Structure 1
Amino acid sequence: MARTIRQVQIGNALSAFGSGFTVPYMFVYVNEVRGLGSMTAWLVFTLFALAALVALPLAGRGIDRYGPRPVLVAGAVTASLGALAFGHATGTGHILMSAFLFGAGVAVVQPALATMIVRCSTAATRAHAFALQFTLVNLGMGIGAMIGGQIVDVSRPTSLTLLFTIEALMFLVLAAVTGSVRIPAAPTDATASAAPAAGGPRSDFRTLLADKAMIRICVLAGLIFFTCYGQFESGVAAYATDVVGTSPSVLGLALGVNTLAIVALQMIVVRITARRRRSTAIAATGLVWLGAWTAAAVAGLVSNGTVATAAMLSVYMLFGVGEALLAPTLGPIIADLAPAQLLGSYNAAFSLVKQVAVAMGPAAGVLLVGAGLSPAYLLVMAGSTVLIVVLALRLRKQLTGPQDNAVRRQRVVAGSRPADTLEPRLAA
């Protein structure tokens, strides 16, 4: 099983390498390179969410019925075709149709990969597996972004076409590498919420909607993805280029700094969060990101120059610190909440929240910054990070001890009770 999860992680990292070539430049590509304007760029991100709305319910059912492997291959091939078409698109209609295909493929890949990781890990190794996946993905994206930043030239559309072609090839690599792995038919550790005793879950949607903890984590995750990930490809890029005066090459460097922070801190953070509640780690993320938006405000005030560049680099670095805190928390929470028979549906629902939130990001980012309302944009983002802290602390009331990592193993001295018994932990 260790060999299987390594194969999954490698394929995921290689596809992330391809995505890194294009992620920082989606807005620039649509708005400047193709000259289609910021509104079309906003529609592109909106279509990513619409594609997820269509594809993810089907993907979740497909994973639960047929397993994650065939669903992943189908999604990767679809994403490859979409990326290739997107890179060659010139008109509005063509680029929007390509965006829908591209978004549908990417949306399907995410829950399939998450399900693979859960089925190839145990409760004891799951947080580490998700953290390692996140580290490798960001390492791949960071390297791709830095290389892409040296290739991209807004005066040469062919340079962006090359980047999207590389991404298309990497999705095919993902399909090839993970398409041959053998995935266990069910999770190897039964820490997830047990299905109802009489006949199992009634249906995926009814079970999801009745799960108050799942609903709360989805609301919180939506805010998280809106505030951070939804801004990477749009709001922060628009703010950096239009308000601060940051060049595309510096944006690529900023993604590299983000990656460096994650790679340097992730395994350290895994050990720290292993002794803390998951809800506490999420709340800490909100505080760190509040610092990131404060740095963005400083960059906007000084504008241009070394200080502004350093401030924008610190924004991406602080985002990376928060992401490192989230990596070993969100995925394992979903895995622990999901009934074994509905693991794919729960992961698909979580991915759907992510896609919608990421698509909503440009509504606050591109539209507010484009309208000259950057102070309002920063206030919205800062307020969202404060809300993350509040919702994370309230979430712990909906989670059981194991789901919130509030139970730890303690070795008892020989005498009264067996060793390695589970004891409630009251630490934050």
Structure 2
Amino acid sequence: MRFAHRRLAVLLVGSSLGAVGWGAVLPFLYADIADARHLGASVAAVTFTAFALGALVAAPLAGRLADRSRPVRVATVARLGMVLAIVALAYAATALTLWAAAFAYGAALAVVQPSTAVLVLELTPAARRRGAFAWQFIGQNLGLAVGGMVGGYLVDLTVPTGSRPAYAFAAVCSAASAVLVAIAASRTARPALAVDEPAPTTGYRGVLQVPAVRWLLAVTVLLTLACYAQFDSGLPAYALSVLDVAPTTLGTAVAVNTVLVAALTAPVVRLTRTVAPAVLLATCAVLWIGVWVVLAAPMLHLGASGTFVVAGYGLFSVGETMLAPVLTPLAATLAPAGATGRTLAAVTGAQTLATAIGPGLSGLLLGLGLPLGFVALQILCCVLAIGCALRLGRVDAARHQQSLALAA
């Protein structure tokens, strides 16, 4: 058991190391493409769309690979594919080559996620899975933060090639991540996951026929729309253009969110260990309704917009500590026999889809001068998520009762 814990630790470090590398590139990617390489804002915007499209296209294949191939092999090869995509991003000189590299990176990342999640599940007893995914979440957030700090020293946005040191750093981190993942999981026994059970007829149609999985996907889409889909575009645009906060204040808010996520995740997981996952998802949605009310308060001319924005970003972190640790273990529990990878890929695809369409919805509302509509949309998503989460809890409880009856 202790050996398994060491291998899990190495696996989580490897996963976090990949986040360190990408964190050195992501905050500067838009400016590098639009300004340093002189390709323009539209090319930079489409690049982020290409990431999402790559992930959406690859998600179905990612689930099948995680179920039918050795997850360690899939995760390692996909991480090496990310290395090649990062190098291609660094040297792309035209819009088409840039978009192709972004598409490839998004696809490789989509393949990495379910296979890595399966590896974490295989190395973790069922009772400790929330904790394992909590530490993975903490590591990835800290990795992105550390990477952003390193990237700030490596990039030079005054020349077209000034960001290449950051891309090189990201490529090295991704390669090292692949090595650590291979070392940690090369001898995984795959003891008790449904992924081991042959079920050739359980494809994505079979996954979507499970009512609890459908409700989980609905909750995932709605909560992603209300939070993560807004972090990179809608929420910053709202804070800067509508609430007129300073860019430095926005940066402080993002930093507060990252620090609180890292600090609160482990304690929250310990305190909520016996709480049903569906209840935690509903609680997360309730908290985020409060967050959007806080973020809307400055429109009532209460002043101190910066304080409300920092507080809102901070409160977001509390919900994140409930959502991230339970989502993957819950998906694995609901997965049909032999379709764990497909179920995890479906959840990842739902998150990617919401992340892709969220900025468009928020951009439309803010562009039309409807900031209240922008906030109301996020609150509506949270309200619907509460209803779906409670329904998920009832369906899952009925499924569990049926399983006990069959076993008896």
Q: Could you say whether these structures have the same fold, taking a TM-score greater than 0.5 normalized by the shorter chain as the test?
A: yes
Are positions 1:328 and 2:321 aligned together? no
Question: What residue number does 1:318 align with?
Answer: 315
- Of the candidates 181, 184, 187, which is equivalent to residue 188 of structure 2? 184
Question: What residue number does 2:53 align with?
Answer: 50
Question: What residue number does 1:411 align with?
Answer: none
Contact 1:14 1:173 in 2 (8 A): yes
- Of the candidates 51, 70, 75, which is equivalent to residue 73 of structure 2? 70
Question: What residue number does 2:278 align with?
Answer: 279
1:331 Cα deviation (Å)?
1.2
Contact 1:120 1:183 in 2 (8 A): no
1:52 Cα deviation (Å)?
2.0
Question: What residue number does 2:268 align with?
Answer: 269
CA distance in 2, matches of 1:258, 1:318: 8
Contact 1:61 1:344 in 2 (8 A): yes
TM-aligned CA distance change 1:87 to 1:194, over 3 Å? closer
Question: What residue number does 2:257 align with?
Answer: 258
| Larger displacement relative to structure 2 (174-183 or 262-271) | 174-183
CA distance in 2, matches of 1:7, 1:401: 38
1:87 Cα deviation (Å)?
4.0
Contact 1:148 1:252 in 2 (8 A): no
Specify every segment of 5 or more residues in structure 1 that has no aligned partner in the other structure, as ranges: 408-428
1:281 Cα deviation (Å)?
1.0
Specify every segment of 5 or more residues in structure 2 that has no aligned partner in the other structure, as ranges: none
| Letter paired with 1:66 | S
1:295 Cα deviation (Å)?
3.2
TM-aligned CA distance change 1:228 to 1:163, over 3 Å? farther
CA distance in 2, matches of 1:246, 1:11: 37
Are positions 1:102 and 2:105 aligned together? yes
Contact 1:8 1:177 in 2 (8 A): yes
CA distance in 1, matches of 2:264, 2:164: 34
> Superposed, which structure 2 residues align to 1:388-427 within 5 Å?
388-400=385-397
Question: What residue number does 1:364 align with?
Answer: 361
TM-aligned CA distance change 1:392 to 1:183, over 3 Å? farther
| Letter paired with 2:375 | L
Question: What residue number does 1:348 align with?
Answer: 345
TM-aligned CA distance change 1:350 to 1:337, over 3 Å? same
* Secondary structure of the corresponding residue to residue 327 of structure 1: helix
CA distance in 2, matches of 1:96, 1:60: 24
* Secondary structure of the corresponding residue to residue 190 of structure 2: coil
- Of the candidates 15, 22, 42, which is equivalent to residue 19 of structure 1? 22
- Of the candidates 80, 85, 96, which is equivalent to residue 82 of structure 1? 85
Could you report, residue by residue, the CA deviation over 1:311-366 in whole angstroms, capped at 9, with x for unpaired residues? 32223212211110112211111111124522222212221112111111221234
TM-aligned CA distance change 1:392 to 1:27, over 3 Å? farther
Question: What residue number does 1:131 align with?
Answer: 134
CA distance in 2, matches of 1:40, 1:273: 44
| Letter paired with 1:330 | L
TM-aligned CA distance change 1:106 to 1:330, over 3 Å? same
Contact 2:82 2:174 in 1 (8 A): yes
Are positions 1:92 and 2:95 aligned together? yes
Could you report, residue by residue, the CA deviation over 1:270-315 in whole angstroms, capped at 9, with x for unpaired residues? 1222121211111111122223223333456769x9x333332223
Matched length: 398
Could you report, residue by residue, the CA deviation over 1:79-136 in whole angstroms, capped at 9, with x for unpaired residues? 2222333344454323322221111111111111111111111111111111111111
Q: Percent identity?
A: 34
1:382 Cα deviation (Å)?
2.2
1:248 Cα deviation (Å)?
5.5
1:374 Cα deviation (Å)?
3.3
Contact 2:71 2:116 in 1 (8 A): yes
TM-aligned CA distance change 1:390 to 1:146, over 3 Å? farther
Contact 1:142 1:258 in 2 (8 A): no
Q: Comparing both structures, which one devotes a greater share of its residues to helix?
A: 2
1:261 Cα deviation (Å)?
1.0
> Superposed, which structure 2 residues align to 1:104-123 within 5 Å?
104-123=107-126
CA distance in 2, matches of 1:152, 1:301: 40
CA distance in 1, matches of 2:19, 2:147: 8
Contact 2:89 2:98 in 1 (8 A): yes
Are positions 1:8 and 2:11 aligned together? yes
Contact 2:62 2:345 in 1 (8 A): yes
- Root mean square deviation, CA, Å: 3.1
CA distance in 2, matches of 1:183, 1:401: 37
CA distance in 1, matches of 2:16, 2:182: 15
Question: What residue number does 1:174 align with?
Answer: 177
TM-aligned CA distance change 1:362 to 1:65, over 3 Å? same
Question: What residue number does 2:235 align with?
Answer: 236
TM-aligned CA distance change 1:302 to 1:178, over 3 Å? farther
| Larger displacement relative to structure 2 (362-371 or 68-77) | 362-371
Question: What residue number does 1:418 align with?
Answer: none
TM-aligned CA distance change 1:339 to 1:152, over 3 Å? same
TM-score, length-scaled by structure 2: 0.86
Question: What residue number does 2:212 align with?
Answer: 213
TM-aligned CA distance change 1:377 to 1:166, over 3 Å? farther
| Letter paired with 1:222 | V
CA distance in 2, matches of 1:341, 1:167: 34
CA distance in 2, matches of 1:387, 1:33: 42
CA distance in 2, matches of 1:315, 1:160: 32
CA distance in 2, matches of 1:247, 1:172: 37
